[in-house]
Amino acid sequence: MKKKKKIEDIPCCGGLLIGESISLDVSGKGISLERLKLWVVALFGIFGTIFGVVSLFDIRCDDAQLSVLALASFLISSIVFSSKKYAFPSLVLIVLMVLGFFALPQDELDYGFKCFVNCIVEQASLESYDISGFYVPRKISEYECLTVFMSVFSVLTSFLVCFSVLARKSFPLSFVFTFPLIEVGLFFGIAPDYKCFAMLLSFWLAMVVLSNSNYREYVGSSGSDFVRKGNSFMPKFGMKKRVDCSSALCMLVITLAVFSVSGFALDVFDIKRPDSVNELRYTLKHDITNMSFEDIVDKLSGETGKSNYGNLRSGDLEYTDSDMLYVKFENKMNTNVYLKSYVGSVYDSSSWEEFEEDTIDELSEIESEFEDICYPQNMLWYFMRSNYADLPKTSVTVDVINAQTDFCYTPYGSEPKRNAEYVDDSVALVDSVVIGDNDAKASYSYDFIPSNFEMVIEWHCDNENNKNTLYLDTEQYDSFVEKNYLSLPDDDDLMSLYEDEEYAEIFENYRSGKANVYQTLCAIRSLIHDNARYTLSPGEAPDDVDVVYYFLKENHKGYCMHYASAGAVLARMAGIPARYCVGYVASSSKFNLLNKEGSGYEFMLKDDAAHAWAEIYIDGLGWVPFEFTEGYSQPSQTTTTTSSTVTTTRRTTALSGTSVSAASTTSTTTTAPLASLSQEPRENGPLKTIILILVVLAILALLTVIIIMRSRKVALLRRKKSMSTQSGAENAVNAYRYIVSLLEFGGIAADGRTPLEYAGLAESKCDFLENGQLVSACNCAMKAGFGSMYLNKDESEKVCKLSHRIAKAVYDSKSCIDKLKMKYIERLI
Amino acid sequence: MVKVIASYALVAIAALIFYIAFIDSLSLILLITVILFPLVLLLSLLIIRAKTQISFFCEKSGENKGCDVNFNVRMYNPTFLPLPRVKISLHYENLLSGERSQAQFLFPLHFSRTQTLRFSISSRYCGKIEAVVDEVVFFDYLMLFRLGKKQKLQCSTVILPSICDADVLISEESEFSGEKDVYSKTHPGDDASEIFDMRDYEMGDRMSQIHWKLSSKQDNLIVKEYSKPVNSNVMLLFDFNSSQAFAADVLADLLISLSYSMIERECEHFAAIYSMQDNALRFFDIDSSESCVVMAQTVMCTPAFEGAKALESYCENEFSRRYSHIIYACAQSSQVQSQLLEQLAMHTRVSAIVVDQSGFDGSKKPYMISDSAAVYTLQSGKIDALLSELVI
């Protein structure tokens, strides 16, 4: 709204007054293109919004039709909104018409809207929301419906944007009309097409310029271009000589340029998001998401809650591309290597927790039954060593970059360390060695026997004779395991799974001995896979429902955390001791992309390598990992190779997870789908950078050349125009000025001489000038310039011709460099 | 300005938060854009400021009271970048009356064109009007930056005094008596009995003017300039001692009218006003209408002051000089002035004129009591009445 104020009394002394009739004259102001510039701004807003939304939600529709309709609406708007008086009523009428069109019973528009919502839901991964009301039958063509809906959207957007730009020149209005849908996408982490976003950004900034230059309007000063406020004078709202639209257009161009340069610089210099930013983002998001009143109270009271590692209600998962662990393997691995960190032993329907203190005390009492270093955590190593003595040992060094330093990331089958410390029946703490070459917070190295442990379980279960080959007396520990690793919360929902036919059958088969441990675990895995789908955004489980039950029976969606939990819980239900593990997985596919460097294979494990799996306790084997997550497990291929008839050699080859000495026999390399783990290494050699810099320089050089050529052309045209006006006197004066510039470039400086003296001097110095010729031209110019006398056409033409002749003569007399300077820098010819 | 900067800072913070929250490289591009943007704006503003040429001129050198005088600020922006807002701050003052005011103009700056901002100033009172452009401020598109260009551009015009065409009565006492003991202080003449000045010889000087004795001493030809006798020894002594603009205006009108009337009556005379710049009296030998104009030009830019400096300075330094008639005029009178006038009146004929300001500032009637001097009260707009009453 325009503010109207009365002019304040002039605070000046009564005798000396400044008149209110103030004018601004602009020379050579031809046709005003301000309106045209405003249209350009509006078009940026319209197309930026429409195609920004289309790109943001990946809407598949007829883009050409949208463009045509948007243009048509724009043309109508430019006529309708040209009159400010009728702009608002017209807009109301148009909006009512469009809404009326919406209200009409049209299947295509209706389905178009539903498809549009579905597109948003799909792109924003909002599947957990109930959108059953937006169901679109399969027979309906999504493309056509979306085209109809987006056409209406385009028309409406065009009118609204045109109203805010052409009629109101208001930034807030234009922002309100163009931003919300883009904001929806940005909120859900979807990036629009950069070009569209650049258009929108430049449009918004152009609108800021337009809004800023709207001076307040005051009453009075009707005859002037300016209005008065005290001793200040400012242009009127409708002042025709304003340059708002030109400024807005400049802003538009500058924004586009800066945005493009920023994008280009980002690409050329390969600027990446630092891990610290990703971490910060993750922490912030996590804190915000999980912020609750109880947490705040806890924090204020200084109480620390339970560890968060086993929390199963953390909702959607999002990777930040942060560097977590840097691993160096001595040999190439054929199988995934699990680096264990946290172990959850107690399941409480919403998380996996460590043992209570009483249980730990109980555990410490039975530790004596183990011989020195053969803890359940090391049984696997001894088992492998005793049964497969020919299996090669390898080593791995784990540098902790951004991962938690509370753990030591131990691979399975690792050699017991003398400095190891076993806590809570799970974590093996060893002294870390900090290595200063890659900012590692801690570093651990292990010797281990890499194996496909699923095959180990299978083989172990198939051969009853192999049980307890270590001949350890683990009776007390076994009873401890049975007591503590089979316990489950007394949750009705969870217990109802015992009643469920398909679950009950698996449990019964194991109890009755129809199925061994491995077969039971495989059956559980298949059941989980049949009931759930892998996704990183399953949504958060309700507080009052058991997480595993919700995952298996209600939500049917989840990721490794849910799969591992479900696997461990179902194994316990069947009677197999199991627990929950968290850590990182070095995928075997990583090794396929690497060549051996120096002493081994080195790579970074990002946060997307974090994983959860289950550990199963098997008598004689100890704690062995078992994979329940879809896409991670590697069962089928190996199961076929493990019959009771296979030879020890073949078994050894199949079990081996390394190709150190048997490159030709690594037929069991896992081919399980590990898309989420594999990352293409990025080659960014200096050559690419040099080429990019050269390309940039070439483009800049080309632009410079174009600008120089263009400015020369403009200068020449201007000169030509200045010497061919209607007024002969003006032509002569301009031609003489040109002559003086040429002669000065030729080395004859005026040095304060009068024009006639200068002409005489030039004649005496220049061979190409005939005697009296320049003096005569000088007289003509003086007559025209100072005397304001009429100059006939012949006289002015004579001066003009002389100027051309001098230009040619001066040009011919110069060296190549001077010629270039004369042409492109001085722009004299 | 602060509001805009604060808003932009908020946008920058928002871009930073967006960068942290949004993984796609779009957020980084946006952040870089937000950071780079002010720098680009500043650079463009610096270029525009450096390239823009500004001139300031007045269309007329003189104008009557109450008439508009046009002043022009001409700007040429040779770049391809327009600016939506440029601010010009200027002040203007009447040097005689001391009135002073200032103004600001906000307007757009066109690109590749010459534009002229034309405004007019009028004054009810005479005096030299001097306008000075103090600063030209350039604002960028978002109003984030303001770059000033300090340029002391100034131009002036003169608001002419109103000359009252009245016949003044010149008594015989004031006419030249035959004894040329009063000479011009400003112009040389032909009276060999009094030397006006000594100077180096110039081509065209007469041989008889050469001061041989002095020339031989200095080894250089020195000539004597003789004095110019004046035919009247009337002194117009004016004190522009008023804080009221109208009083200075009335005094200026009176001085010019009186002087002009006397010249028309072929009565050469002297005038003296106090110059604050020189801290001394400035004398004018008025022997023609041209010299009257010269005096008027000086008066127009002589600022008013407090006290009776002209009279005091005259009594202190020029008391020995003999004039047949001293006409003293002032805006404010005091007892000191009365005493000084009494002293003067003991040796020469003195007339005192005091401007009546009672109608303007509510002050009392002018205080001027003198037994020996004739005292007149001048009311605004009644100069002709006074002139017809005054006997010189």
Given this model, what pLDDT does residue B41 score? 92
Residue of A66, A85, A77, A244 whose CA lies nearest to A164: A77
pLDDT at B232 over 70: no
Winning range, highest mean pLDDT, from A39-53, A349-363, A450-464, B187-201: A39-53
Contact by Cβ (8 Å): A352, A546: no
Query: Is residue A219 very low, low, confident or very high in pLDDT (cuts 50, 70, 90)?
Result: very low
**Tens of pLDDT, residues A719-743:** 888 888 777 778 888 888 888 888 8
The size of the A-B interface in CB pairs under 8 A is: 193
pLDDT at A647 over 50: no
Find the residue in A nearest to B92 (Cα). A16
Chain B contact set for A235 (CB, 8 A):
106-108
- CB spacing of B114 vs A12 below 8 angstroms: no
Query: Is residue A354 very low, low, confident or very high in pLDDT (cuts 50, 70, 90)?
Result: confident
DSSP A192: P
- CB spacing of A12 vs B142 below 8 angstroms: no
DSSP A190: P
> Chain A within 8 Å of B42 (Cβ-Cβ)?
no
Mean pLDDT estimate for chain B: 83
Given this model, what pLDDT does residue A418 score? 61
**Span B45-49, average pLDDT:** 93
- CB spacing of B33 vs A186 below 8 angstroms: no
**Rounded-to-integer distance, Cα A444 and Cα A408, Å:** 7
**Rounded-to-integer distance, Cα B214 and Cα B326, Å:** 38
Find the residue in A nearest to B11 (Cα). A205
CATH superfamily to which B54-159 belongs: Immunoglobulins (2.60.40.10)
- CB spacing of A189 vs B24 below 8 angstroms: yes
Chain B contact set for A259 (CB, 8 A):
29, 33
Share of chain B above pLDDT 70, in %: 91
DSSP A683: P
**Span A803-826, average pLDDT:** 86
Of the candidates A194, A243, A263, which has its C-beta nearest B82's C-beta?
A243
Q: A interface mutation test: which of B141, B243, B300, B380 has the most A CBs within 10 A?
A: B141
Given this model, what pLDDT does residue A422 score? 66
> Chain A within 8 Å of B10 (Cβ-Cβ)?
no
Chain B contact set for A21 (CB, 8 A):
119-120
pLDDT at B173 over 80: no
d(CA A221, nearest CA chain B) in Å? 13
Residue of A399, A413, A481 whose CA lies nearest to A443: A399
Of the candidates B29, B106, B114, which has its C-beta nearest A263's C-beta?
B29
Given this model, what pLDDT does residue A672 score? 30
Given this model, what pLDDT does residue B73 score? 92
Of the candidates A17, A191, A278, which has its C-beta nearest B26's C-beta?
A191
**Tens of pLDDT, residues A623-632:** 889 989 877 7
Query: Is residue A357 very low, low, confident or very high in pLDDT (cuts 50, 70, 90)?
Result: confident
Of the candidates A26, A266, A281, which has its C-beta nearest B28's C-beta?
A266
d(CA A321, nearest CA chain B) in Å? 9
Of the candidates B18, B25, B123, which has its C-beta nearest A15's C-beta?
B123
Which residues 352-391 on chain B approach chain A with CB closer than 8 angstroms?
A: none
Of the candidates A29, A231, A285, which has its C-beta nearest B101's C-beta?
A231
Find the residue in B nearest to A251 (Cα). B141
**Residues 6 or more apart from A567 whose CB is under 8 A from it?**
A521, A524, A525, A528, A578, A614, A626, A628
Q: A interface mutation test: which of B23, B93, B159 has the most A CBs within 10 A?
A: B23
**Tens of pLDDT, residues B198-215:** 888 888 888 888 888 888
pLDDT at A671 over 50: no
**Tens of pLDDT, residues A161-217:** 998 888 888 888 899 999 988 888 888 888 888 999 999 999 999 998 888 765 544
**Rounded-to-integer distance, Cα A670 and Cα A93, Å:** 66
Winning range, highest mean pLDDT, from A778-782, B354-358, B363-367: A778-782
> Chain A within 8 Å of B19 (Cβ-Cβ)?
yes
Given this model, what pLDDT does residue A127 score? 61
Instruction: List the structure tokens of B388.
Output: 């017809």
Q: Which residues pair with residue B274 across a beta bridge?
A: B281
d(CA A230, nearest CA chain B) in Å? 9
Chain B contact set for A12 (CB, 8 A):
99, 101
Domain range annotation of chain B:
2-38, 54-159, 172-181+232-389, 185-229
Which residues 132-171 on chain B approach chain A with CB closer than 8 angstroms?
A: 141-143
**Tens of pLDDT, residues A26-44:** 876 556 677 888 899 999 9
| Among the ranges given (A577-581, A734-738, B165-169, B280-284), the one the predictor scored with the smallest mean pLDDT | B165-169
- Amino acid occupying residue A138: R
Instruction: List the structure tokens of A534.
Output: 């892998």
pLDDT at B360 over 70: no
- CB spacing of A271 vs B101 below 8 angstroms: no
Chain B contact set for A262 (CB, 8 A):
29, 32-33, 36
d(CA B313, nearest CA chain A) in Å? 30
**Span A565-576, average pLDDT:** 92
**Span A303-318, average pLDDT:** 66
Given this model, what pLDDT does residue A202 score? 93
Of the candidates B104, B121, B124, which has its C-beta nearest A233's C-beta?
B104
Helices assigned H by DSSP within A443-513? 453-462, 475-484, 492-499, 501-511
H or E segment and range at residue A245: helix A244-268
Work out the number of other CB atoms within 10 angstroms of the CB of residue B343.
12
Find the residue in A nearest to B123 (Cα). A16
Of the candidates A28, A246, A320, which has its C-beta nearest B82's C-beta?
A246
> Chain A within 8 Å of B267 (Cβ-Cβ)?
no
d(CA B240, nearest CA chain A) in Å? 17
Query: Is residue A668 very low, low, confident or very high in pLDDT (cuts 50, 70, 90)?
Result: very low
- CB spacing of B106 vs A232 below 8 angstroms: yes
**Span A321-345, average pLDDT:** 83
Question: DSSP string covering A332-382, please?
Answer: -BSS-EEEEEEEE-EE-SSBEEPPPHHHHHHHHHHGGGS-TT--GGGHHHH
Q: Number of C-alpha atoms within 13 angstroms, CB side, residue A780?
A: 28
Helices assigned H by DSSP within A124-243? 142-162, 171-178, 180-187, 194-212
Contact by Cβ (8 Å): B107, A235: yes
Instruction: List the structure tokens of A209.
Output: 């310029």
d(CA A711, nearest CA chain B) in Å? 12
**Span A9-31, average pLDDT:** 69
- CB spacing of A247 vs B83 below 8 angstroms: yes
d(CA A560, nearest CA chain B) in Å? 23
Of the candidates A22, A285, A321, which has its C-beta nearest B119's C-beta?
A22
Query: Is residue A293 very low, low, confident or very high in pLDDT (cuts 50, 70, 90)?
Result: low
Residue with the larger pLDDT of the pair B148 and A214? B148
Residue with the larger pLDDT of the pair A436 and B77? B77
**Span A290-319, average pLDDT:** 64
- CB spacing of B32 vs A265 below 8 angstroms: yes
DSSP A821: I
Mean pLDDT estimate for chain A: 77
Q: Which residues pair with residue A323 across a beta bridge?
A: A606
pLDDT at B138 over 90: yes
> Chain A within 8 Å of B226 (Cβ-Cβ)?
no
Given this model, what pLDDT does residue B181 score? 63
Region for residue A258 given its phi and psi (left: phi exceeds 0; alpha: psi -120 to 50; beta: otherwise) = alpha
| Among the ranges given (A422-431, A440-449, A529-538, B361-370), the one the predictor scored with the smallest mean pLDDT | B361-370
Beta-sheet pairing, A578-586 with A533-534: unpaired
Query: Is residue A432 very low, low, confident or very high in pLDDT (cuts 50, 70, 90)?
Result: low
Chain A contact set for B22 (CB, 8 A):
186, 189, 191
H or E segment and range at residue B129: strand B127-139
pLDDT at A76 over 70: yes
Beta-sheet pairing, B374-378 with B349-355: parallel
Q: Which residues pair with residue A146 across a beta bridge?
A: none
Query: Is residue A711 very low, low, confident or very high in pLDDT (cuts 50, 70, 90)?
Result: confident
> Chain A within 8 Å of B125 (Cβ-Cβ)?
yes
Beta-sheet pairing, A622-626 with A610-618: antiparallel
Find the residue in B nearest to A258 (Cα). B33
Which residues 65-104 on chain B approach chain A with CB closer than 8 angstroms?
A: 68, 81-85, 92-94, 97, 99-104
Level-2 CATH architecture, domain B172-181+232-389:
3-Layer(aba) Sandwich (3.40)
Encode B162-192: b = buried (16+ Cβ within 10 Å), e = exposed.
Answer: ebbebebebeeebbeeeebebbbbeebbeee
Q: Which residues pair with residue B375 across a beta bridge?
A: B352
Residue of A565, A616, A579 whose CA lies nearest to A457: A616
Of the candidates B101, B105, B118, which has its C-beta nearest A25's C-beta?
B118
Given this model, what pLDDT does residue B375 score? 81
Query: Is residue A642 very low, low, confident or very high in pLDDT (cuts 50, 70, 90)?
Result: very low
Contact by Cβ (8 Å): B48, B109: yes
pLDDT at A660 over 90: no
pLDDT at A368 over 60: yes
- CB spacing of B29 vs A259 below 8 angstroms: yes
pLDDT at B322 over 90: no
SS3 B229: strand
Of the candidates A26, A28, A258, which has its C-beta nearest B40's C-beta?
A258
